[in-house]
Amino acid sequence: MPQPLAPRPQSVSTSGGAGGGTLAVLLAGGKGSRLHELTASECKPALFFAGNRRIVDFALANALRSGLHEMIACTQYRPETLTRHLQGPWGAAFGAAGGRLDIAHGPEVAGHSEGYLGTADAVMRNIPAIDARAPRHVVVMAADHVCQIDFRPMIETHVASGAEATVAAHVVPRSSGSEFGILGADARGRATGFVEKPSDPPGMPEDPAYALASMGIYVFNWPWLRARLLADAADAGSGHDFGHDILPAAVREGVVGLWRLAAQGADAAGGTDAAQGAGCARPYWRDVGTLDSYRVTQLDFTCAALPCAMPESVLPQAGAALAPSAGPRPRGGLRPGAAWPGPWPDESVILPGGSVASGARVTRAIVAPGAHVPSGLVIGEDAQEDARWFRRSAGGTVLVTRAMLARREAQAARPVPVRLPAALLRPRSVGAV
């Protein structure tokens, strides 16, 4: 029977190192298969987002703003660009804050090419590195979400509740709930149920049209998590994953608390309905794991009022390297910068290194790095034609890559065989003289 979460008063420290603070572990090894060709040669956290920024920048900035200056970043799939990015301005920023950003590459840590076997295995394999810092709490966070979050209220809630683990949660439409781990909760803020990416997501009792989704951010008491990870590693039937293995068992035991992102807005006691530090109207969190969400979320950043603070705001010396080039941001689309020739592509995202020629018409598209849309080409207006040459999502987003354009051009240049009428091909008889 689940045991009640007894309050456990203690001081909260986000500083790492010896002294029992909080260590951040960044899970940055994902491929992002639902982004298809965009992640064929690049891991999802390293993809461009809102100009020259990378998706991972938001998680890194959130950690620094929250005083989490000690971090281990677990990498795996296609880590080259991500590693250089982490070792560049972000490594310097963590060092300037008195902390350290270490990179733990799966195949190197595990000692075999397969690397980490799952999200829980990634943390388990780094137990020696975590023990060396002697943290009291460990914050495990995803590297591929776009959000603004202060982890300090979450850590404080975790400590006050007496929970062994606390999950950050956000309300999402039930129609999109199958993309997330879905939680159930009681009036005390304790998790009562958890199912990973269900085909039929359960709605919230107070509003069945919505579901309570896990944000992929967890706070753990390190001694408890350490023991669970070792037990999970010894379980041959486990997938070694937080969402499928660690959390469901912990929820059944009644040791998991919930922390809702919305509590920092209008729902917070004595609080105001404003996002942290950016003057935003609502807390902001987006999973950009599909082509539709990747495109639409970037369009949020073309508005005059940004949806959340930009990551370079914590990099006073090197932030310019993340920001897009100077220039106007046309409404309805996003591009790297500089003056744009001709009409602006509608509701489209032109990633750095991509371009659209004057005379082309592009709607609801993602133009990948290296893709150059030629004059006269129309994309996004004919679903059948789009699907013939490009990748078109169920939501109508069209992904355009250099290889797709080359295939289309090669097909158009292929000689068309001439078919002669059958009468002309019939052998002619020679009559007698």
Q: CATH code at 353?
A: 2.160.10.10
- Beta-bridge partner residues of 365: 398
| Residues 183, 236 share a domain | yes
The arithmetic mean of pLDDT across residues 374-403, rounded, is 97
Distance CA 124, CA 139 (A): 14
Q: Residue 281: pLDDT above 50?
A: no
| Residues 235, 115 share a domain | yes
| Residues 118, 178 share a domain | yes
In Å, how far are 70, 246, 279, 370 from 330, measured between CA atoms?
39, 45, 22, 22
pLDDT tens, 341-381? 555 678 999 999 999 999 999 999 999 999 999 999 999 99
pLDDT tens, 61-103? 999 999 999 999 999 999 999 999 999 999 999 999 999 999 9
According to the model, what pLDDT value does residue 157 have? 95
Quote the number of domains for the chain. 2
Cβ-based burial of 202 (10 A; exposed 0-12, middle 13-18, buried ≥19): middle
Q: Residue 277: pLDDT above 50?
A: no
Is residue 100 assigned to a domain?
A: yes
Q: Which of 260, 290, 320 is where one domain is finished?
A: 290
Mean model confidence pLDDT for the chain: 85
pLDDT band at 284 (very low <50, low <70, confident <90, very high): confident
| Residues 206, 143 share a domain | yes
User: Which is higher by pLDDT, 323 or 426?
Assistant: 426
Contacts of 111 (CB under 8 A, 6+ apart): none
| Residues 269, 335 share a domain | no
CATH of the domain at 71: 3.90.550.10
Neighbours of 196 (CB within 10 A): 15
Range of the domain at 383: 331-411
Beta strands 53-54 and 48-49, pairing class: antiparallel
Is residue 232 assigned to a domain?
A: yes
* Residue 158, phi then psi, degrees to nearest 5: -60, -50
| Residues 177, 273 share a domain | yes
pLDDT tens, 14-59? 555 433 599 999 999 988 999 999 999 999 999 999 999 999 999 9
Distance CA 366, CA 295 (A): 7
Q: Which of 290, 319, 342 is where one domain is finished?
A: 290
Neighbours of 152 (CB within 10 A): 15
Q: Could you list the beta-strand ranges (E) of 160-305.
A: 165-173, 181-185, 191-196, 210-221, 256-260, 285-287
Tokens of 125: 């394999």
Distance CA 125, CA 129 (A): 9
pLDDT band at 268 (very low <50, low <70, confident <90, very high): very low
Is residue 14 assigned to a domain?
A: no
User: Which is higher by pLDDT, 186 or 326?
Assistant: 186
**Nearest alpha carbon to residue 181 among 240, 96, 243:** 243
Lowest mean pLDDT among 229-238, 268-277, 301-310, 330-339: 268-277
Q: Which of 271, 290, 309 is where one domain is finished?
A: 290
The arithmetic mean of pLDDT across residues 128-157, rounded, is 96
| Residues 276, 181 share a domain | yes
The arithmetic mean of pLDDT across residues 324-351, rounded, is 57
Q: Residue 291: pLDDT above 50?
A: yes
- DSSP label at 190? B
Is residue 2 assigned to a domain?
A: no
What's the whole-model pTM score?
0.85
According to the model, what pLDDT value does residue 99 have? 96
User: Which is higher by pLDDT, 367 or 196?
Assistant: 367
| Residues 340, 281 share a domain | no
| Residues 157, 98 share a domain | yes
